[in-house]
Amino acid sequence: MYMEKYHGAKITDFTGPPKEEEEQEVQVEIKDTRPPWDIYFARIVDGIAARSTCTRRQIGAIVVNKDHHIVSTGFNGVVRKAPHCSEVGCVKDEKDIASGTGHSICPAVHAEQNALIQAGRAAAGCTLYLNAFPCKICARLIVNAGIERVVISGDYTDKEGLEILKAANIEVTRVSM
């Protein structure tokens, strides 16, 4: 018996030419080995996070519409034309400020904020994928942008953002990879 795997399909046929009175039997078993959408986009978020210039955390975000099309992406880093923390150092490290606090001191724009800015009004009704919990500031922006669902593949010290999403009836899903 000859077996060949082709893109997840198992094709089986018998060796030798079929006899006149017999038909050649072919069995095809197709198995979908693609990751579910949430895992697919969560993996992409990790790649986007690699562009971060933050010396503490690399956070990525993607806004995805109901047709599974990427509307926008974002990663955390300082505002345009400013020197990157990876080049000049982290002001929060210099002042010994804990993660999840000191948002007014940090010059960075969060990944969620960058993704929402890029998406504009197209964010309404979409899903936002993150590799961290959103902080309370980003959670408020997520609510006002009209995001309907947030998928998280990481964590964060500030869990108040999750309470804001819950109060706004935004579906929050956590995935493990």
Q: Who wins on pLDDT, 177 or 105?
A: 105
pLDDT tens per residue across span 77-105? 999 999 999 899 999 999 999 888 888 88
34: CB partners within 8 A, 6+ apart: 40
Query: Active-site residue among 23, 112, 148, 163?
Result: 112
Query: Which pLDDT score is estimated for 110?
Result: 95
Closest to 135 (Cα-Cα) out of 162, 114, 108, 154: 162
Integer CA distances (angstroms), 58 to 62, 86, 176, in order:
14, 11, 17
Q: Who wins on pLDDT, 136 or 25?
A: 136
Residue 6 has pLDDT above 70, yes or no: no
75 vs 83: CA distance, rounded Å? 16
Q: Are 106 and 92 in contact (CB under 8 A)?
A: yes
Tell me if residue 102 falls in helix, strand or coil.
Answer: coil
23 is catalytic: no
Buried b (16+ CB within 10 A) or exposed e, 51-73: ebbbeeebbbbbbbeeeeebbbb
pLDDT tens per residue across span 26-59? 777 788 889 999 999 999 999 999 999 999 999 9
